[in-house]
């Protein structure tokens, strides 16, 4: 197939993009030379009580990944085993699930029938709608997935790398995908966390702009089964946000406690007499008339006449 | 051993043994030292004496360490699972690449291996950018060899991830920022020039320009017949203009040319006020409320008056104490002639709308 013919075919397919279900059936029937073989379908949904950021992030991911499906909010009371069934019903083999707990957001990624699953704490979410990220890409175009070299060093990172590749990579010739490759997903490891970025490729020489969304994943646990099963890996450096908040409060309380204790200690240690003075030492101290001050001066200057008030008091005292 | 070497003891109550862990003064920043003034586990003097006798304790400051949490790290089974669920497909299907960031040509070896600080926003983002660049530079030639399209042709119009409305907003924001920068730069330049008296020259030029425009305007008016052709009139106009502009302190509020403007007040009025220029800016109009994206069509969604009244008096769907579906005039029950159900759902309406387009 020459390039021109390919473009023509693409344009034709593009016109039918409005009704995607029709397109799906047609590509399977029409007998194209190349068929869509890598059947990945991701179910992206959230639990009840997620904040607007998570909801918008979920919808952004669904926009960027044409092989993603949406589902209604899950009532957490049902538990995680339900999720596997829901995925099976929707014929999905991967799942991204946003869970909200208190003020924190957790992300579960899983390979649904039997495969491994991972739980992350998701932080620093920025959605597509942010005006500071100026790039744009075709809706449903295939991304280049770029991984940090750290991903090859440790086994748990290798598992995560494989999971992300299968999940975020758009399958080739997916009916809703666009044939051009114009953006890059970046997964980097820094500070024991996984940072996700999405860049648009402007020129072939490598100039990029950021499209969004952005988020940071802090791995918590990796399980052998989907949403359960034996635990393969636990992140020793992970501090749950509850613990973190409790620690902050404790530190604040500790500061106050230290202050009170130091004050009490000061009171205990403080001496009433700075040094011992024998009161008898003062009897024979002689002060020179030049150095006398205040009451002591009176010893050198006596009144010539006695004051009538004085005599009155003396008489009263005598009586 | 130095007498001040810190030693940390881990005492496990079940076995009644002491695990001693020596630490240097350097890593005294660990958490175990910070808040352990209140000892959670009771350590008896007897135990300490025994430990000292056994030689487990050294003279110096000893801390009780928190028990180290055992974290699962099953390398063997992780490798097995990796083998199991890895897909053996061509690279073209996966499109993944592992590479470090691209280094600019001037960087030394030291700088390349330097650990970057996560808190430094600029450096961090730059590093991610460079990693993406490296990936792009590696993959694009590969793809071009495989005859895979990477560049979008100019006439290819397709739906983008961000809508046109969104991109318009972004462009406006960028423009605004650019304009404010330009303005501030201009203002700075003017201030500089004032110092060197070039402003005078500019004013003269400006005045000349103004005069020219005024003359042309008058000539136009005269030719149109709006003004009478008298030399006196022109003179008077000129004099009037002169007097008008002689009010350096701006005390005459009626003269718009020399009135002193309180810029702070003006800004506050524009931001918080409701009159004047901002008379109509605090209300939604077609552009601001995103009607383009929603596509609410008032004409299509009009209902007859009687039906509106019925709808108002009806019960809310589903909620409100267990009403059965058939009861009352439920909101979803309004049926237009020729429709099987009530109002179609959001997705259906979207597809209908796009189909109509």
Give this prediction's pTM: 0.61
Mean pLDDT score across all residues of chain B = 75
Q: Is the pLDDT of residue B93 over 80?
A: yes
Please identify every stretch of chain A with a pLDDT value under 70, giving residue numbers as ranges. 1, 16-33, 303-319
B129, A208 Cβ separation under 8 angstroms: yes
pLDDT of residue B207: 93
Q: Is A233 close to B78, i.e. CB distance below 8 A?
A: yes
Segment B295-305 mean pLDDT: 71
Put simply, the chain B residues between 246 and 285 with a CB less than 8 A from any chain A CB are: none
Q: What residues of A are in contact with residue B133 (Cβ under 8 Å)?
A: 206, 208
Q: Would you say B95 and B40 are in contact if contact means Cβ atoms under 8 Å apart?
A: no
pLDDT band at B27 (very low <50, low <70, confident <90, very high): very low
- Using DSSP's 3-state secondary structure scheme, residue B59 falls into coil
Gap between the terminal Cα atoms of chain A: 139
Contacts of A119 in chain B (CB under 8 A): none
What is the rounded distance in angstroms from the CA atom of residue A147 to the CA atom of residue B99? 6
Chain B hits for A205, Cβ within 8 Å:
137
Model pLDDT for residues B122-143, shown as the tens digit of each residue: 989 999 999 999 999 999 999 9
Tokens for B303, please give them.
């209902």
Sequence-distant (6+) residues with CB within 8 A of A39 are A93, A171
> Is B139 in Cβ contact with A250 (below 8 Å)?
no
Q: What is the mean pLDDT of residues B70-78?
A: 87
Q: Return d(Cα B236, Cα B231) in angstroms, integer.
A: 9
**Is the pLDDT at B31 greater than 60, yes or no?**
no
ipTM: 0.74
Q: Can you say how many angstroms the Cα of residue B84 is from the centroid of all Cα atoms in its chain?
A: 41
pLDDT at residue B327 in the model: 46
Q: What is the pLDDT of residue B71?
A: 85
Q: What is the pLDDT of residue B192?
A: 86
The string of pLDDT tens digits covering residues B256-295 is 777 888 999 988 988 888 888 778 778 887 777 765 556 6
Q: What pLDDT is stored for residue A12 in this prediction?
A: 74
- The whole-number pLDDT of residue A23 equals 45
Q: Which two tokens stand for residue A12?
A: 């034709």
Tell me which residue has tokens 């007498």: B3
Of A129, A155, A205, the CB nearest to B75: A155
pLDDT surpasses 50 at B324? no
Which residues in chain A are contacts of B96 at CB distance < 8 A?
A: 144-147, 161, 165, 169
pLDDT of residue B73: 87
B88 lies within 8 A of chain A by CB:
no
């Amino acid at each position: 197939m020459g390039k021109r013919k390919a473009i023509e075919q693409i344009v034709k397919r593009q016109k039918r993009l409005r009704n995607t279900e029709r397109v799906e059936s047609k590509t399977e029937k029409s007998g194209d030379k190349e068929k869509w073989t890598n059947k990945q379908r991701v179910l992206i949904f959230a639990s009840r009580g997620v904040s607007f950021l998570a909801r918008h992030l979920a919808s952004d991911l669904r926009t960027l990944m044409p092989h993603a499906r949406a589902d209604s909010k899950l009532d957490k009371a049902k538990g995680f085993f339900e999720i596997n069934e829901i995925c099976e019903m929707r014929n999905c083999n991967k799942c991204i699930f946003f869970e909200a707990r208190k003020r924190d957001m957790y992300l579960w990624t899983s390979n649904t029938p039997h495969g491994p699953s991972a739980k992350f704490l998701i932080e620093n979410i920025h959605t597509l709608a942010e005006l500071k990220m100026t790039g744009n890409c075709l809706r449903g175009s295939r991304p280049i997935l770029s991984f940090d070299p750290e991903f090859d060093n440790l086994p748990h990172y290798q598992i995560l790398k494989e999971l992300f590749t299968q999940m975020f990579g758009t399958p080739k010739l997916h009916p809703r995908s666009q044939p051009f490759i114009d953006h890059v997903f970046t997964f980097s490891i820094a500070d024991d966390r996984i940072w996700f970025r999405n860049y648009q490729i402007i020129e072939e020489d490598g100039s990029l702009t950021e499209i969004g969304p952005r988020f940071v994943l802090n791995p918590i646990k990796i399980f052998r089964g989907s949403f359960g099963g034996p635990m393969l890996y636990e992140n020793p450096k992970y501090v749950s946000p509850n613990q973190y908040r409790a620690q902050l409060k404790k530190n604040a309380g500790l500061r106050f406690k230290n202050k009170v204790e130091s004050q009490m200690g000061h009171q205990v240690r403080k001496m009433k007499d700075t040094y011992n003075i024998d009161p008898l030492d003062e009897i024979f101290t002689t002060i020179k008339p030049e150095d006398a001050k205040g009451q002591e001066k009176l010893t050198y200057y006596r009144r010539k006449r006695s004051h009538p008030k004085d005599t009155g008091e003396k008489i009263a005292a005598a009586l | 051993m130095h007498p001040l070497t810190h030693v940390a003891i881990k005492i496990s109550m079940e076995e009644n043994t002491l695990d001693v862990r020596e630490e240097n003064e350097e890593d005294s920043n660990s958490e175990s030292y910070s808040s352990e003034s209140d000892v959670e586990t009771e350590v008896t003097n007897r135990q300490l004496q025994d430990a000292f006798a056994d030689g487990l304790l050294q003279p110096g400051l000893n801390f009780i360490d928190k028990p180290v949490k055992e974290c699962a790290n099953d390398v063997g089974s992780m490798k097995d699972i990796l083998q199991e669920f890895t897909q053996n497909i061509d690279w073209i299907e996966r499109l993944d690449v592992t590479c470090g960031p691209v280094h600019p040509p001037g960087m030394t070896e030291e700088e390349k291996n330097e650990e970057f600080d996560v808190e430094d926003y600029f450096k961090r983002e730059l590093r991610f950018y460079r990693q993406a660049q490296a990936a792009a530079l590696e993959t694009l030639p590969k793809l071009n060899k495989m005859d895979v399209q990477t560049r979008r042709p100019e006439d290819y119009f397709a739906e983008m991830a961000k809508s046109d409305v969104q991109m318009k907003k972004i462009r406006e924001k960028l423009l605004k920022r650019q304009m404010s920068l330009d303005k501030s730069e201009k203002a700075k330049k003017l201030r500089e020039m004032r110092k060197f008296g070039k402003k005078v020259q500019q004013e003269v030029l400006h005045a000349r320009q103004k005069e020219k425009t005024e003359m042309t305007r008058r000539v136009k008016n005269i030719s149109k017949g709006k003004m009478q052709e008298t030399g006196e009139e022109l003179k008077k106009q000129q004099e009037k203009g002169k007097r008008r502009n002689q009010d350096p302190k701006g005390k005459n509020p009626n003269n718009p040319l020399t009135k002193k403007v309180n810029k702070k007040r003006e800004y506050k009025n524009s931001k918080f006020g409701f009159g004047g220029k901002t008379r109509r800016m605090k209300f939604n109009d077609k552009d601001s409320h995103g009607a383009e994206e929603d596509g609410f069509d008032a004409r299509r969604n009009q209902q007859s008056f009687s039906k509106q009244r019925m709808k108002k008096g009806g019960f809310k769907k589903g909620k409100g104490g267990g009403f059965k579906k058939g009861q009352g005039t439920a909101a979803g029950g309004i049926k237009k002639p020729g429709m099987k159900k009530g109002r179609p759902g959001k997705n259906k309406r979207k597809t209908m709308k796009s189909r109509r387009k």
